[in-house]
């Protein structure tokens, strides 16, 4: 499976940890930046990952910024993106099962590396349940 990952400066260190983790699990990872802890604007990386997902370059995306909110808002501006801000594995599971989320967003300043890894594992292993949830998903895009 191929994934795109991105963060601003606040999420850089977590992103680096997660890239190593994903590669150890044999995922192909496309790093969309940022590449240091120097100040960077989260929309740039939210848009880059969302474009990779909508363009079919990757199956799923992973994003992070300090709170997760800003980068989540940027990604969700893209038609067809359903980015979900998750801070524990239960929410990550529901994001896939009920919302067919295609980007996992993590709050880098408020989540441990261990919990972030749990969120990723669940997010990438769960499937969309469809059914009544499919009708709701159709109502999201404007």
Q: Which residue has the tokens 């590396």?
A: 113
**What DSSP state is assigned to residue 78?**
S
Over the stretch 74-124, which tens digit does the pLDDT of each residue have? 999 999 999 999 999 999 999 999 999 999 999 999 999 999 999 999 999
Asked if 142 is an active-site residue, the reply is: no
- Catalytic residue from among 47, 78, 86, 98: 98
In the sheet with 103-107, reading across from the earlier edge strand, the strands are 28-31, 2-7, 60-65, 103-107, 83-85
Is the domain defined by 2-138 classed in CATH 3.40.1400.10? yes
In this prediction the pTM is 0.97
Report domain extents, the chain. Answer: 2-138
Scanning the chain, the segments in alpha helix (DSSP H) are 12-24, 42-54, 69-75, 89-97, 113-125, 132-138
Over the stretch 27-75, which tens digit does the pLDDT of each residue have? 999 999 999 999 999 999 999 999 999 999 999 999 999 999 999 999 9
Q: What's the full length of the chain, in residues?
A: 142
Asked if 65 is an active-site residue, the reply is: yes
- Catalytic residue from among 65, 78, 86, 119: 65
């Amino acid at each position: 499976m191929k994934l795109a990952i991105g963060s601003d400066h606040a999420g850089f260190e977590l992103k680096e940890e997660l890239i190593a983790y994903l590669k150890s699990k044999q995922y192909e990872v496309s790093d969309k930046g940022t590449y240091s802890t120097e100040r960077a604007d989260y929309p740039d990386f939210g848009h880059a990952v969302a474009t990779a997902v909508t363009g079919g370059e990757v199956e799923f995306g992973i994003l992070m910024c300090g709170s997760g909110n800003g980068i989540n808002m940027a990604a969700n501006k893209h038609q067809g993106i359903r980015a979900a801000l998750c801070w524990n594995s239960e929410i990550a599971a529901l994001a896939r099962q009920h919302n067919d989320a295609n980007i996992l967003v993590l709050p880098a300043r408020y989540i441990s590396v261990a919990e972030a890894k749990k969120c990723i594992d669940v997010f990438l292993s769960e499937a969309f349940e469809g059914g009544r949830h499919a009708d709701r998903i159709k109502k999201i895009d404007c």
